[in-house]
Amino acid sequence: MEQLVLAFLLMMDIFLQSSYATLPHSLSKGSSLSVEKPNDVLKSSNGVFAAGFHSVGDNAYCFAVWFTQSAANSTIVWMANRDQPVNGRGSVVSLLGDGNLVLRDVGEIDTWESNTRWLSQVELALLDTGNLVLQTPDNDILWESFKFPTDTLLPYQQITRHAKLISPRSKSNYSSGWYSFYFDNDNLLHLLYNGPETSSAYWPDPSNCWPLGRYKFNNSRVAFFNSSGDFQSSDQFVFSAADLGIGPKRRLTMDFDGNLRLYSLQEKEGKWLVSWQAFSQPCSVHGVCGPNSICVHGLETISCSCLPGFKVKYAHDWSYGCEPKFNLSFDVTEWIFFALPNVNIYGFDLGTPLPKSEGECKKICVQSNSTCKAVSYINGTCQMKSMLFNAVRSPNLEGITYLMLPKNSLQSYNESEEKSTQAAPNCPSSSTSTTDIQLLERVYLHNQGNQFLLYLLWFVTVIGGIELFCICIGFFYLYRARGHTRRVYQGYDLFVAAAGFRKFTYNELKKATWSFSQEIGRGGYGIVYKGVLSDGRLVTWVREKNINASSSSNDHDIASTIEEILDPRVDAQYSMAKMEVLLAVALQCVQEEKDRRPTMSKVVEMLTRHDYT
């Protein structure tokens, strides 16, 4: 069975390689990639990377670069528009003539651009390193994706003072999440939780003012890892992959659970294995369960539960944590302390630890005018906490935390914990690979669409309605004023009745149109048939008559031509000048090229300009 699986994976790899082998490596000026064409994809010459539109939700796409050899959904390493997906219809990436690379949503709305201008030759190319670049024929790089990372670093791609990694929101939501890996103003690399309600730096340990082996006195702020798996930083932070050496394809990713991990690709299986990670205990990451909650370590997973007296805020997203069941807007005169063994709350300390007894610590906390929310008592000292954030429970934690709550507001801790834990989703083990992670589920927030496009659509609809109304009024006015009707043959207009052009009987029309055998269109005026007269095309005949008359300087010839075209039953009391205008308008409307025919509003304008009322 295992051999069959390996054979299948090998066949899939060969198929993918052959598919990508036919894809172009670059995009020239004036060319585009369309979201509606699956083959509109750039590939690196080594076949490892591809760039194009990648689905990130229901009818939502991002322009991205991804690994082609990873199993399941191709692993994305860069995105242009992670926080503003575009529509699955009509969206394109275009390299304009001025050298600017533009991502356009449906409706010609630019959602992202490279902000480059280069009038001479330039092309968009995907390099073997996974770097998407705009470059000249001399290989001068005008723009590169390596300078604008999203959540992933590739070998030799740098973190700098201007470039940082920002996690996705969840496994299926690629938009910007709560965690970032960056150089702070102290010239040290940091991991920061910047959640919906609070922020907290959690690496290096905030309680350690001088991180071991780290060097603050530098101003270069550069960090990267090489093809062997060695990470180096200007602040002297270093680490190495467990499978150190040239060979595996690697990526360093700021994962959505707040852990920074180095992955190595197992090409036969197409799976990523963790070869280094910042935290072996996932609960050490701040904000993983949100405020007013407890993160609990398990054998392979972690779980989130609300603190006693609190309830989960959004069951689908534990980033928002829990909210109190009690109301603090009333004057609370009596407080109780609920004991939480083996629980510690990291950060948000009120002052330095105090060498007090438990009773003295609780008394000081009550007297803080609600500034103190809890007291952690460890090894004979107590620490006041201003926020119930980053609470962790583990059998290995010594000491006890006392949670301060209004009296008569507390249900049984066991009941509260059991209810919350059942509602809490599981978080990943730090040792699992990205493809196997089952983390806190967070609903993908689809792009709400371009509001400008919506307003524009409504505007165009209203204007179109007004124009249609005006055209109808214009036709009604002409109809009432002259009592003529309009017929259409082979896409051209003939004014009849009061206008004075020749009328045809039913039998004449039937003969002229081959018994109505060739229908060429349908419209508001009925069916349109292709037709000719026995002595040639009607339009050709009328146009030739008009040309011959116009070339003559004799007014009698012009009048004679118009009389020949007019129905003989028309009363002779008509304006010759107005008939000339009607004839000119009719001949414009029967131009062979539709772009040369006037619009109906233009027809009305020409008639009213000559006082045809």
Q: Phi and psi (nearest 5°) for 493? A: -105, 135
Sheet holding 141-144, edge to edge: 26-28, 123-126, 132-135, 141-144
pLDDT band at 213 (very low <50, low <70, confident <90, very high): low
Task: Quote the CA–CA distance of 199 and 319 in Å, as a whole number.
Answer: 12
Do 361 and 368 touch, CB atoms closer than 8 A? no
Whether residues 259 and 322 share a domain: the answer is no
Instruction: For residue 536, give Cα distances in angstroms to 64, 440, 539, 544, 587.
Output: 61, 78, 9, 11, 16
pLDDT tens, residue by residue, 266-307 = 988 889 999 999 998 889 899 999 999 999 877 667 889 999
Element (H, E) at 240: strand 239-240
Taking residue 59's Cβ as centre, other Cβ atoms within 10 Å add up to 13
- The residue-averaged pLDDT of 322-333 equals 72
Exposure string of 516-551, with b = 16+ CB inside 10 Å and e = fewer, is: eeeeeeeeeeeebbbbbeeeeebbeebeebbeebee
pLDDT band at 3 (very low <50, low <70, confident <90, very high): very low
pLDDT tens, residue by residue, 144-165 = 999 999 999 999 999 999 999 9
Which range is least confidently modeled, 130-134, 307-311, 504-508? Answer: 504-508
In a domain, 189, yes or no: yes
Do 473 and 204 touch, CB atoms closer than 8 A? no
- The residue-averaged pLDDT of 505-532 equals 54
Q: Phi and psi (nearest 5°) for 415? A: -65, -45
- Residue 454 pLDDT exceeds 90: no
Amino acid residing at 516 = F
Whether residues 129 and 7 share a domain: the answer is yes
In a domain, 466, yes or no: no
Whether residues 175 and 273 share a domain: the answer is yes
Which residue range forms the structural domain that includes residue 599?
483-609
Task: Quote the CA–CA distance of 270 and 248 in Å, as a whole number.
Answer: 12
Q: Looking at residue 161, what is its pLDDT? A: 92
Residue where a domain stops, chosen among 129, 148, 167 = 148
Residue where a domain stops, chosen among 98, 114, 148 = 148
Whether residues 228 and 326 share a domain: the answer is no
Q: Looking at residue 610, what is its pLDDT? A: 59
pLDDT tens, residue by residue, 477-491 = 655 554 444 333 333
Which range is least confidently modeled, 226-230, 242-246, 378-382, 512-516? Answer: 512-516
Give me the percent of the chain exceeding a pLDDT of 90.
38
In a domain, 463, yes or no: no
Q: Looking at residue 294, what is its pLDDT? A: 94
Do 150 and 78 touch, CB atoms closer than 8 A? yes
Which residue is it, tokens 């131009």?
591
Task: Quote the CA–CA distance of 438 and 434 in Å, as a whole number.
Answer: 9
Element (H, E) at 183: strand 176-183
- The residue-averaged pLDDT of 563-588 equals 70
pLDDT tens, residue by residue, 431-445 = 333 333 333 333 334
Q: Looking at residue 533, what is its pLDDT? A: 46
Residues facing 110 on adjacent strands: 104
- Residue 59 pLDDT exceeds 80: yes
- Residue 464 pLDDT exceeds 50: yes
Whether residues 174 and 255 share a domain: the answer is yes
Q: Looking at residue 208, what is its pLDDT? A: 65
Query: Half-sphere exposure of 121 toward its Cβ, with a 13 Å CA cutoff?
Result: 5
Instruction: For residue 113, give Cα distances in angstroms to 63, 146, 285, 590.
Output: 11, 15, 35, 45
Q: Looking at residue 439, what is its pLDDT? A: 35
Q: Looking at residue 588, what is its pLDDT? A: 75
Between residues 264 and 217, the one the model is more confident about: 264
Evaluate if pTM is beyond 0.85: no
Helix axes 600-609, 451-482, angle to 10 degrees: 40
DSSP result, 124-178: EEE-TTS-EEEE-TT--EEEEGGGS-SSEE-TT--B-SS--EEEESSSS--SEEE
Question: Would strands 260-266 and 250-254 be described as parallel, antiparallel, or unpaired?
Answer: antiparallel
Between residues 10 and 184, the one the model is more confident about: 184
Q: Looking at residue 418, what is its pLDDT? A: 36
How does DSSP classify residue 580? H
Question: Would strands 230-233 and 239-240 be described as parallel, antiparallel, or unpaired?
Answer: antiparallel
Taking residue 81's Cβ as centre, other Cβ atoms within 10 Å add up to 21
Whether residues 330 and 441 share a domain: the answer is no
What mean pLDDT value characterizes the chain? 77
Q: Looking at residue 264, what is its pLDDT? A: 96
In a domain, 473, yes or no: no
Q: Looking at residue 519, what is its pLDDT? A: 58
pLDDT band at 416 (very low <50, low <70, confident <90, very high): very low
- Residue 179 pLDDT exceeds 90: yes
pLDDT band at 35 (very low <50, low <70, confident <90, very high): very high
Do 132 and 65 touch, CB atoms closer than 8 A? yes
Whether residues 6 and 62 share a domain: the answer is yes
In a domain, 393, yes or no: yes
Q: Which two tokens stand for residue 127?
A: 């390099």
How does DSSP classify residue 560? H
Residue 573: is it exposed, middle or buried by C-beta count within 10 angstroms (0-12/13-18/19+)?
Answer: exposed
Query: Half-sphere exposure of 449 toward its Cβ, with a 13 Å CA cutoff?
Result: 13
Question: In total, how many domains does the chain have?
Answer: 4
Whether residues 296 and 337 share a domain: the answer is yes
Whether residues 16 and 91 share a domain: the answer is yes
How does DSSP classify residue 83? T
Between residues 573 and 203, the one the model is more confident about: 203
- The residue-averaged pLDDT of 97-101 equals 93
Q: Looking at residue 535, what is its pLDDT? A: 41
Task: Quote the CA–CA distance of 258 and 239 in Å, as a whole number.
Answer: 18
Q: Which two tokens stand for residue 208?
A: 């350690």
Task: Quote the CA–CA distance of 306 and 257 in Å, as a whole number.
Answer: 18
pLDDT tens, residue by residue, 539-566 = 777 777 777 666 665 666 677 777 777 7
In a domain, 576, yes or no: yes
Measured on CA atoms in the order 149, 152, 155, 156, is the torsion positive or negative? Answer: positive
Task: Quote the CA–CA distance of 434 and 75 in Å, as a whole number.
Answer: 10
- Residue 84 pLDDT exceeds 90: yes
Task: Quote the CA–CA distance of 60 and 493 in Å, as a whole number.
Answer: 46
Do 302 and 285 touch, CB atoms closer than 8 A? no
Whether residues 43 and 164 share a domain: the answer is no
In a domain, 415, yes or no: yes
Do 305 and 417 touch, CB atoms closer than 8 A? yes
pLDDT band at 9 (very low <50, low <70, confident <90, very high): very low
Whether residues 181 and 192 share a domain: the answer is yes
Between residues 168 and 14, the one the model is more confident about: 168
Whether residues 204 and 131 share a domain: the answer is no
Sheet holding 239-240, edge to edge: 223-225, 230-233, 239-240
Do 294 and 392 touch, CB atoms closer than 8 A? yes
CATH code for the domain in which residue 60 is found: 2.90.10.10
User: Which SS3 state, helix, strand or coil, does residue 537 take?
Assistant: coil
Which residue is it, tokens 């292709």?
530
Residue in 264, 294, 258 with CA at minimum distance from that of residue 278: 258
Residue in 167, 196, 199, 197 with CA at minimum distance from that of residue 182: 167
In a domain, 313, yes or no: yes
Radius of gyration (C-alpha) of the chain in whole angstroms: 38
Instruction: Give the number of residues written for the chain.
Output: 613
Those residues with Cβ within 8 angstroms of residue 110's Cβ, 6 or more apart along the chain or in another chain: 102, 103, 104
